[in-house]
Amino acid sequence: MLSAIHSLLDNTYEEMVSIRRYLHQHPELSFQETETAKYIANYYENLGIPYEKNVGGNGVIATLKGAKPGKKVAFRADFDALPIQDEKDVPYKSQVPGVMHACGHDGHTATLLTFAKVMQQFQNELEGTIVFIHQHAEEYAPGGAKPIVETGVLKDVDAVFGTHLWATLPLGSIYSSHQAIMAGADRFEITIQGQGGHGAIPQDTKDAIVIGAEVVSQFQQIVSRRLSPLTSAVVSIGIFEAGNAFNIIADQSKLVGTVRHFDLAVQEKIIQEMEQILKGICDSFGASYEFNYIKGYPPVVNHPEQTDLVLQSTKEIDGVDTAEIIEPLMVGEDFSYYLLEKPGSFFLTGANLEGNDYPHHHPKFDIDEKAMLIAAKAFANIYLAYQE
């Protein structure tokens, strides 16, 4: 049956590309994906596969029950876009100004839809049940995964899998991890209140820029000097705003940044150290501060048994040259919520487009669309292997 499924997936490749390009031309931002959700729901409506819409927000969940008893396995694809202007010179360039599928979610959706269409053709031979999770709002916390999980959609599911088409990995490669594959991703905002004044009379001021610079410098020592060197973490400042004139000492500065981690205990340690540094520096300058730490997605922590199944079942796919373990990435993903609920694995499918080496979230981001076909075949292999 597996070879027949692969053959039918090959035959639907043009449709897969067509779906992806349509979605690429009509992107929608996180929590605003109403038309995309309708498109997905209509696809299942036309197939006659039962589905629910508005799950946890704009989510769409479809279910295909095989004729034979077996395990219930879920596969997830996200479908939101990013606030980026598409700068590619291609026929399928985004038609929405300032909005673009710059992370491959259009490809994820096209993969899962055509996978569902093909698997339906084998419904009378299938063991178990396939759950197709189409998730909104992966890009913007609090995200769509958590509210979808909270609806109970995974209650009877035995395992959950997902893939990310990865533009900087070569086509024909599949990578996963037995443990964390992606980091927890948090955000913080700091406002430092000093006392402004004339640039020529600094002794009468509490310079918010100098104070902020001290904070930035000390924050860089949290990872290098306050955590074990065997611990992986990142503390990065992305925004430093202060002042409005060359000859005025600023009374206020604002810092915004991100923390990445693989361990919740490390996360708490970093928060504690940040608070201590802020208090110490601001007290020494006679300034005050506000510290707002927003915990984002937890780390994406795979389950070893399911990861072995992914790597073993996909290495025989035509066109797959590599199926191996990868070092964890510091990027975040709300697939973590599914793996906190059920066993499963998240894996990367290489999608590098020759001549286009732009990374995710870049205005010229693109993928080799043949990666979608590999991902769909991977889903098929994983599903059938899990039934054994």
Active site residues: 80, 138
Give the DSSP per-residue string, 201-247: -GGG-B-HHHHHHHHHHHHHHHHHHSS-TT--EEEEEEEEEE-SSTT
Backbone angles phi, psi at 232, to 5 degrees: -100, 130
d(CA 145, CA 247): 49
Residue 188 contacts residue 298 (beta carbons within 8 Å): no
- State which amino acid sits at residue 261: H
**Among all chains, which residue has been given the structure tokens 């990445």?**
260
Instruction: Mention every residue, 6+ apart, whose C-beta is less than 8 A from residue 229.
Output: none
328-355 core/surface letters (b: 16 or more CB in 10 A; e: else): bbbebbbbbbbbebbbbbbbbbbbbbee
Residue 199 contacts residue 247 (beta carbons within 8 Å): yes
Summary count for the chain: helices (H), strands (E): 10, 16
Task: Sort 324 into a burial class: Cβ within 10 Å, 0-12 / 13-18 / 19+.
Answer: exposed
Instruction: Mention every residue, 6+ apart, whose C-beta is less than 8 A from residue 90.
Output: 366
Neighbours of 214 (CB within 10 A): 17
Residue 62 contacts residue 49 (beta carbons within 8 Å): yes
d(CA 263, CA 251): 37
- Which own/partner pairs from 215-224 qualify as long-range (CB within 8 Å, at least 24 positions apart)? 215/190, 215/255, 215/277, 215/278, 215/281, 216/240, 216/255, 218/277, 218/281, 219/257, 219/274, 219/277, 222/270, 222/273, 222/274, 222/277
